[in-house]
Amino acid sequence: MALLPILRFPDPRLKKVATPVVGIDDSIRKLVADMGETMYEASGIGLAATQVDIHKRVVVIDTSEERNQLRVFINPQLVRCEGLQTGEEGCLSVPGIYDKVERAERVTVNYLDLDGKAQSLTAEGLLAVCIQHEIDHLDGHVFVDHLSQLKQTRIKSKLAKQARVTA
């Protein structure tokens, strides 16, 4: 296993659209293991391969309190979205920034599991938010894209300032 470096907004590589996984081989299994380790180490509830500069449609999520229920979604596709919820979001690629985003309350996602078997999951609440946030990453979007241009500009300057004091 290995920790992977996480890209930081506004890195242009976060805008790449990820391509579907065609076969689940050892490289995909290793990617999933490394993404899980990276997500847990960073105390995140989800991670998309895009964030570690791998542009394949792979997502890991763990919204459990105990941090022991790793979910793996390969080629996830939203097939149903119902209702609306608004919650504070954060992102490992946008450290220290939190803001409200409107999302569907309940979603159904079709995906492949690590055995390549087709699965379908209906989720609501935080898990539903996280699924939508991660699929956004695979499509080259970060949650700040949902905010006003003014907020995006402020976030960019705040992160640039942060990077200067950290360096």
Residues contributing to the site for ligand GNR (CB under 6 A): 44-48, 51, 89-93, 129-130, 133-134, 137
* Residue 135 binds Ni ion, judged by CB under 5 A: no
Q: Per CB under 5 A, which region of 6-14, 59-67, 86-94, 114-122 contacts Ni ion?
A: 86-94
- From the list ligand GNR, Ni ion, none, partner contacted by residue 76 (C-beta under 5 to 8 A by kind): none
- From the list ligand GNR, Ni ion, none, partner contacted by residue 129 (C-beta under 5 to 8 A by kind): ligand GNR
Q: Is it true that the peptide bond before 12 is cis, omega within 30 degrees of 0?
A: no
Whether the CA torsion 115, 116, 121, 124 is positive or negative: it is positive
- From the list ligand GNR, Ni ion, none, partner contacted by residue 89 (C-beta under 5 to 8 A by kind): ligand GNR
- Indicate the residue among 4 and 130 with the shorter CB distance to ligand GNR: 130
Nearest to 93 by CA among 147, 144, 33: 144
> Would you name the residues annotated as active-site residues?
134
**32 contact partners, CB below 8 Å, separation of at least 6:** 58, 60, 72, 114
- Please report, as residue ranges, which positions from 33 to 72 form the binding site for Ni ion (by CB under 5 A): none
Nearest to 56 by CA among 35, 74, 77, 33: 74
Distance of closest approach, residue 92 Cβ to Ni ion, in angstroms: 6
Question: Residues of 39-61 as b/e, b for ≥16 C-beta within 10 angstroms?
Answer: bbeeebbbbbbbbbebbbbbbbb
Torsion of CA 61, 76, 52, 137, to 10 degrees: -100
Which member of 45, 91, 129, 135 binds Ni ion (CB under 5 A)? 91
* Residue 32 binds Ni ion, judged by CB under 5 A: no
Among all residues, whose Cβ is closest to Ni ion?
A: 91
In the complex, the residues that contact Ni ion under the rule CB under 5 A are 91
